[in-house]
Structure 1
Amino acid sequence: MKILEIHSDAWASLQSRRERLPHALLLIGQKGLGKFALAREFAASLLCESRSIDGTACGHCLACNWFAQGNHPDFRLLQPEALAATSEVEEGKKKPSQQITIDQIRSLDEFLGVGSHRGGLSIVLINPAEAMNRNAANSILKILEEPPPNILFLLVSGEPSGLLPTIRSRCQTLAVATPPQPVSVAALKASGIADAERWLALSGGSPRFAEEMAAAGQGSWLDILIARLQEGRNVSPLQMAGDLEKAIKDSKGNLQLKQVVEAMQKWLVDLNLSKHGLTARYFLGQQAKIGMLADMIPSVRLITFYRNMNLRRQEAEQPLNARLFLESIFLDYRALFSADRG
């Protein structure tokens, strides 16, 4: 996917800052827009030694070759171990961390103290910035309070409210907008994504997220979930939990419990929209069925269940028992359609 074509306005804004770069730049926007890819393109262009007219990296110079191979001496990427992991964790081994830790920040000491190897700018890219735990965030804050010369911190965040206010205040902020739907659909189709409209809707309008969902083959488990959810009061919570638990196990780490919960939350959003006479946002192909189901549910139940699902989303990170967790959620879902209105 050509990320610069999708975010041409954001790229132009980045280019306008090139001559007077801040010591810290924070890219914000909803998850899955491609902010990280945009930040990497900008970092590559700043380090490039033979930049193109449009500000992009040439892709051929020594600096670009180093950057592409992940070993440019003036670039550091900080991200959770879980994002960098490329293979399934062996049974009994410690799971990769979902956080950016204090040790990762401390590893920057020599990098920040030595200065640029190429006589130019040094760049630290932090993605996602809200993944920094408290100690890591405080350590970064101390650096931002007295930043070394010729260092640019690029922070990427889909949840800027999760950052310390003092960190946000020390960054220039660039809001990356959600691209117009036709632009994203065209980009997805150009990347070979079939049924682009469906995936874009399921992603909430985020083209990068839509591309990842489609490429990961998430259609199969989503089809199972959608089919069961459409059964309303006739759904079997135990069978539903069994089907989804099997899908999670068969995915070998590609499908997480939290993704099932997030899909459920999107279904509830569409039920609520339909309840108020509005068009579904996520499950476009099930608009008519969602409308029928919404008519069976008292509004207060729908709101209460959605609030409960926000708490369940946090529990999904480390459930004591995935099967029981799913059964509980689907039992609550079936209860939405109970004839008892009390």
Structure 2
Amino acid sequence: MIYPWHESDWRSLAEHCDQLPHALLFSGKENTGKTAFARHLAQALLCENSGAAYEACGQCPSCHLFAQNSHPDFYELTPEIPEGEAVGRKLLQIKIDAVRDVIEHVRLTSVRGGRRVVLVHPAESMNAQSANALLKILEEPPEGVVFLLVSHERDRLLPTVKSRCRQIVLHAPERAAALAYVRERHPQHAEELLAFHSGAPLFDDDAEQTALRGELLQLLSAPRLIAALDYAAAFDKHKLPLAVFLDWLQKWLLDVGLAQQNMPPLYYPAFAAQSAAVAARTAPHALFALTGRLNSLVPYGRHTLSVKMQLEFLLTEYLHFWQNK
């Protein structure tokens, strides 16, 4: 499917489908429908009755197979979650064995006599070995094979991989369109949720995480040492990675920084008064120092560090920051 805010991107691409390169890289903001766009294109490329408009007919055998996720000429590379295991704190990657397996298959002839399509998403989840393996086939692609790469963080891809693809930036929805979409699914807290997700409407709303984030915001508004230690223990019980906590705290600190400049909050509008109160009692130089400490931990957001200990450290640092003025 194509989301309404991508219809103009699709029309532009469909006009030149006859001149498609062997590899396309779709990039843009996360949770805005890039993978759905790439799937729509993959189905159109595999459809046996797509015609000049390059719209999948939805009726031919290829379309039926695609809809059932069983098309023999469609290959998908995405981080695998072992059956029966939770994602938790694991760093999910596309590994070299999966890439090699796909390469082996696409070098063979097409099962249904048409194109073969390989979808890679998110492309930045390839580790160095798998990215280099994919690069080799991008440099010498078999005839009739189209590679579709989807990336939320294009700068993390190897420059050589990007150079072998035609890069297309897909538009994010305007705020009005995104808010209308979210209101249909989360009518009670649409504006707050959309703000937290940076205007990207295609997020999964986890009630437990939302409640846990609300508890954190209450704590950050008026921190106390014992409450901070209790929160670290409670967060750890949910087995969430450190990256989740860093994201929540970084967004709060950004709102505090905006309040220090008499600007409205960006991520937590419902807590505008609380972030303004924290801004009034804190100094910018201390905010920059704390933000720097958070940034230094970002590369370890899904590392096997003790998340509880890291939260205790960061919340204690935040308490010192809150008391600094």
Common fold, TM-score beyond 0.5?
A: yes
- Name the SS for the 1:154 alignment partner: strand
> In the superposition, relative to structure 1, how do residues 180 and 224 fare at CA in structure 2: closer, same or farther (>3 Å)?
same
The equivalent of 1:145 in structure 2 is 139
- Within the candidate set 136, 156, 169, 1:162 is matched to 156
- Name the SS for the 2:141 alignment partner: coil
Residue 217 of structure 2 corresponds to residue 222 of structure 1: no
> In the superposition, relative to structure 1, how do residues 90 and 139 fare at CA in structure 2: closer, same or farther (>3 Å)?
closer
| In 2, Cα distance between equivalents of 1:164 and 1:245 | 34
| In 1, Cα distance between equivalents of 2:20 and 2:109 | 17
Residue 121 of structure 2 corresponds to residue 122 of structure 1: no
Displacement after TM superposition at 1:215 (Å): 5.2
Residue 253 of structure 2 corresponds to residue 268 of structure 1: yes
The equivalent of 2:314 in structure 1 is 329
Residue 196 of structure 2 corresponds to residue 197 of structure 1: no
The equivalent of 1:243 in structure 2 is 234
The equivalent of 1:252 in structure 2 is none
> In the superposition, relative to structure 1, how do residues 4 and 55 fare at CA in structure 2: closer, same or farther (>3 Å)?
farther
Displacement after TM superposition at 1:149 (Å): 1.1
The equivalent of 2:42 in structure 1 is 43
- Within the candidate set 93, 103, 108, 1:109 is matched to 103
| In 1, Cα distance between equivalents of 2:286 and 2:108 | 59
Displacement after TM superposition at 1:216 (Å): 5.6
Q: TM-score, normalised by structure 1?
A: 0.87
| In 1, Cα distance between equivalents of 2:16 and 2:254 | 38
The equivalent of 1:283 in structure 2 is 268
Displacement after TM superposition at 1:119 (Å): 2.1
Instruction: Write the deviation string for residues 266-296 of structure 1: whole angstroms up to 9, x where unpaired.
Output: 1111111222222211101111211111122
> In the superposition, relative to structure 1, how do residues 96 and 229 fare at CA in structure 2: closer, same or farther (>3 Å)?
closer
Q: Which runs of 5+ in 1 are unaligned?
A: 250-254
- Name the SS for the 1:320 alignment partner: coil
The equivalent of 1:259 in structure 2 is 244
| In 2, Cα distance between equivalents of 1:267 and 1:90 | 25
8 Å CA contact retained: 2:27, 2:167: yes
- Name the SS for the 1:292 alignment partner: helix
Identity of aligned residues (%): 35
The equivalent of 1:19 in structure 2 is 18
8 Å CA contact retained: 1:32, 1:207: yes
Q: CA RMSD in A?
A: 2.4
- Name the SS for the 1:31 alignment partner: coil
- Name the SS for the 1:77 alignment partner: strand
- Within the candidate set 281, 293, 308, 2:293 is matched to 308
The equivalent of 2:173 in structure 1 is 179
Report the number of matched residues. 325
Residue 8 of structure 2 corresponds to residue 9 of structure 1: yes
Q: TM-score, normalised by structure 2?
A: 0.91
AA partner of residue 176 (structure 1): L
Displacement after TM superposition at 1:55 (Å): 4.5
AA partner of residue 228 (structure 2): P
| In 2, Cα distance between equivalents of 1:61 and 1:318 | 46
Q: Which runs of 5+ in 2 are unaligned?
A: none
- Name the SS for the 1:104 alignment partner: helix
Instruction: Write the deviation string for residues 133-153 of structure 1: whole angstroms up to 9, x where unpaired.
Output: 111111111111111111111
8 Å CA contact retained: 2:95, 2:129: yes
8 Å CA contact retained: 2:17, 2:54: no
- Single out whichever of 227-236 and 290-299 deviates more from structure 2: 227-236
Q: What pairs with 1:63-102 in structure 2 (closer than 5 Å)?
A: 63-82=62-81, 87-89=84-86, 98-102=92-96
Instruction: Write the deviation string for residues 167-201 of structure 1: whole angstroms up to 9, x where unpaired.
Output: 11111111112210110111223345542211111
- Single out whichever of 276-285 and 309-318 deviates more from structure 2: 309-318
> In the superposition, relative to structure 1, how do residues 189 and 293 fare at CA in structure 2: closer, same or farther (>3 Å)?
same
